[in-house]
Amino acid sequence: MESARIRQLLNLLVWALLLLKTEASYVPITYVRNAVAKGAVCLDGSPPAYHFDKGYGTGINSWLVAFEGGGWCNNVTTCLSRKTYRLGSSTKMAKQIGFSGILSNRRLFNPDFYNWNRIKVRYCDGSSFTGDVAAVNPETKLYYRGARIFAAVMEDLLAKGMKNAQNAIISGCSAGGLTSVLHCDRFRAVLPTGARVKCLSDAGYFINAKDVMGEQHIEQYFSQVVATHGSATNLPQSCTSRLSPKLCFFPQYLVSHITTPIFFVNAAYDSWQIKNILAPGVADPQGHWHSCKLDINNCSPDQLDLMQGFRTEFLRALTVLGNSSSKGMFIDSCYTHCQTEMQETWLRSDSPMLAKTTIAKAVADWFYERRPFHQIDCPYPCNPTCHNRLVDPPQDHPEKNVTTKGTTSDASARKPDFLKLANKAQWIELVSTERGIGGLLLTLVILVIL
């Protein structure tokens, strides 16, 4: 055979191997059954649940606890509707979900956390784990017990080895990103004093802004969430001692009092916030924003102006963070929501970058104190590395009961542009994590191709 043909064949082979290699790892569900006796249950009374991929090697005493997102329920009607699907009942949850991005177990895709104990806590309380109402209405049979779930899951994980943690991160995206803000110091408090413990909030910096009609829509909405779930006593006291509980659901009023180091990954034009804070359905009865909300390319100049105004407010709300190195931030100008649990935005050759740094590197460098990170992007549309969102994944449509195979599918990592990643060092890293016949073949291919 001529060498061109051999190359072609080897190329095919490499693709076949990459396909296997980048298949998301699926992690089975664990139900926290002993939580039921403590009244720590989902909206429908079912046990809480999480997915746990055990750490190994140097990561054996490091713990990443990621909280699932999926909006909130703000009254009996919306909470009752949640009981019928996975965000309100563990009986409706997928038995396994894909782990990718910061949850990936592959060094190539997640170089600093791949061998940690990685946990994804399922969201089924509708209050970012803050609710605690003792009484259960006999008619609705709704349980508002998010804060109890948080405590029960912590207890369970501590017993499973987290009590020996040397490194730990609480993270989450969207309502889960808010969970990691609201519970940041509490998480720190249950871990060993000597451990390095930090908080990471992805798309959790919801701001208290007026909508396009000038109404305080999100403030009213959060106030209903807090009232419905009896959250007040579980919000950080450093905030509730000064302000009304409904305000203490907004990161901007409490972050300056958080003592544990915290990092925010957020788009300045967070697509959830544009859709639900700036231009919620009630503020746009004619649906003028419909196509703009779906795709930023469809926005009119007026709409873009309002979005630039939103960014200005977003950045103003961030100033309370100050510039201390313990408070990190990666604020890009993308139109998106949640960037740490998807491979394409966490770490890939074409992932979003600020100061030539991917989110994966910024977060890890900050966590290990290799360097502080405090970057705010120039305004839209200046950043060519953005992945602007066209259609949101299912977890962003909290009021619909979609069944998902995995909330964090790794399908994107299978796209051919993954090959762009293939500089020599990364190829070699790929091989070094591969064992057996696959590793041998890949080594061969690399020798031939590079």
Ligand X SMILES: *[C@@H]1O[C@H](CO)[C@@H](O)[C@H](O)[C@H]1NC(C)=O
- Is 8 a binder of ligand X (CB under 6 A)? no
Q: Is 51 a residue of the active site?
A: no
Q: Which one among 287, 323, 382, 384 touches ligand X, defined by CB under 6 A?
A: 323
Give whichever of 119 and 218 is closer to ligand X, judged by the CB atom. 218
- Which one of the listed residues 217, 337, 374, 387 is annotated catalytic? 337
By the rule CB under 6 A, 139 interacts with ligand X: no
The Cα 442–Cα 17 span in angstroms is 8
Site size with ligand X, rule: CB under 6 A? 10
Which of 84, 237, 308, 426 is the binder for ligand X (CB under 6 A)? Answer: 84
The span from the CA of 66 to the CA of 120, in Å, is: 5
Rounded Cα distance between 335 and 389, Å, is: 6
337 part of the active site: yes
- Is there binding between residue 85 and ligand X (CB under 6 A)? yes
Task: Using the rule CB under 6 A, give the single segment among 38-46, 69-77, 329-337, 410-418 that binds ligand X.
Answer: 69-77
Q: How far is the CB of 276 from ligand X (least distance, A)?
A: 10
Q: Contact region for ligand X (CB under 6 A) — 40-48, 72-80, 245-253, 338-346?
A: 72-80
Active-site residue, selected from the candidate residues 46, 174, 201, 231: 174
Considering only residues 383 through 442, tell me which ones interact with ligand X, judged by CB under 6 A: 400-401
Judged by CB under 6 A, the stretch of 13-21, 75-83, 144-152, 255-263 that binds ligand X is: 75-83
Does 272 engage in binding with ligand X (CB under 6 A)?
no
Is 174 a known active-site residue? yes
375 contributes a contact to ligand X by CB under 6 A: no
Find the binding residues for ligand X in span 25-54 (CB under 6 A).
Answer: none
Does residue 319 belong to the site contacting ligand X (CB under 6 A)? no
Residue of the chain from 8, 77, 137, 164 that contacts ligand X (CB under 6 A): 77
User: In the complex, what is the shortest distance from the CB of residue 127 to ligand X, in angstroms, rounded to a whole number?
Assistant: 14
Give the torsion sign (CA, 137, 143, 145, 146). negative
Query: Which of 92, 106 has the CB closer to ligand X?
Result: 92
As measured in angstroms, the least distance from the Cβ of 230 to ligand X is 17
| By CB under 6 A, residue 90 contacts ligand X | no
Stretch that binds ligand X, among 41-49, 71-79, 131-139, 297-305 (CB under 6 A): 71-79
Distance CA(253)–CA(236), nearest Å, equals: 10
Q: Provide the annotated active-site residues.
A: 174, 270, 337
Residues of this chain that bind ligand X (CB under 6 A): 74-75, 77-78, 84-85, 323, 325, 400-401
